[in-house]
Amino acid sequence: MTYCLGIVNCFGIVIAADSRTNAGVDYISAYKKLFDFSVPGERVLLICSSGNLSMTQGVITELRRDIQNHEEVNLHNLSSMYDIARYIGHKSRQIQDRDRQWLERDNIDFQCNFLLGGQVKGEEPQLYLIYPQGNFIQATKETPFLQIGETKYGKPILDRTITYDTPLEAVAKCALLSIDSTMKSNISVGPPINLVMYKADSLVVRHTLELRLGDPYLAKMRKLWEDFVRQAFEAMPNIEWQRETEASVEDILID
């Protein structure tokens, strides 16, 4: 399994991914799922992947090769984030189509999803989710985050916290907490965690972080969060129960 999330707002973009890949529960390994294709000063391009590893690796390899071979269309010469999302979708379709019939007949899930976050000079920062079918959606002011992989455990914290004007450092902490919640609830999501914070219009990636298993920051964050949660419960007003009776147990006992 995998969990990747991206958040875009007026201050920039935060994008994060876990690194655990599993084939069943008895074959677990670590693969980086966050890739930086930026050209400093010109464009920032961050890509996360989830799904069948042979497919996602194929897509990333071909994206890289198209740049190296100076293909007519590649990540570095397309002029808008929209066109880049289309190009990745097209590439993903091609790669999946190549192997589809061999995997499908053995009931192997061949699908893969991508997050694309970044900014091309002259545009606003943008965030896209590219579906296995190659079509895609864009994050908006109303819903500034997108997730792929094991999305549910980490969504409530985003739903309650992230808005279009949440400061970027708080967004980054929230992204870490969202991943930590997912790791705690689903063992198939795991470290190292890769995190990038991109400040709008800087056109360069300055804030990156890799948190390995047992990282002291992660441990500190988890402890602090759990203390806060406990305090919150204590601070919550008592429940006003509907049928509180004054009778003692003995009055009610039948025998």
Interface residues toward a copy of itself, by CB under 8 A: 39-42, 152-157, 159-161, 169-170, 172-174, 176, 181-182, 184-185, 195, 197, 201-204, 206-210, 217, 220-221, 224-226, 228-245, 249, 252-255
Q: Nearer Cβ to a copy of itself, position 72 or 250?
A: 250
Q: Nearer Cβ to a copy of itself, position 102 or 217?
A: 217
Of 125, 128, 96, 99, nearest to 111 (Cα)?
96
Q: Nearer Cβ to a copy of itself, position 25 or 252?
A: 252
Smallest distance, Å, CB 91 to a copy of itself? 26
Q: Nearer Cβ to a copy of itself, position 1 or 103?
A: 1
Smallest distance, Å, CB 164 to a copy of itself? 15
| 81-98 CB burial, b ≥16 within 10 A, e <16 | beebbbbbbebbbebbee
Smallest distance, Å, CB 43 to a copy of itself? 10
Distances, alpha carbon 14 to alpha carbons 31, 92, 187, 200, 206, in Å: 20, 23, 24, 10, 12
Q: Nearer Cβ to a copy of itself, position 39 or 103?
A: 39
Smallest distance, Å, CB 247 to a copy of itself? 8
State the Cα–Cα distance between residues 198 and 14, nearest whole angstrom. Answer: 6
Looking at this protein, which amino acid is placed at residue 237?
A: P
Distances, alpha carbon 102 to alpha carbons 52, 109, 126, 134, in Å: 14, 11, 35, 20
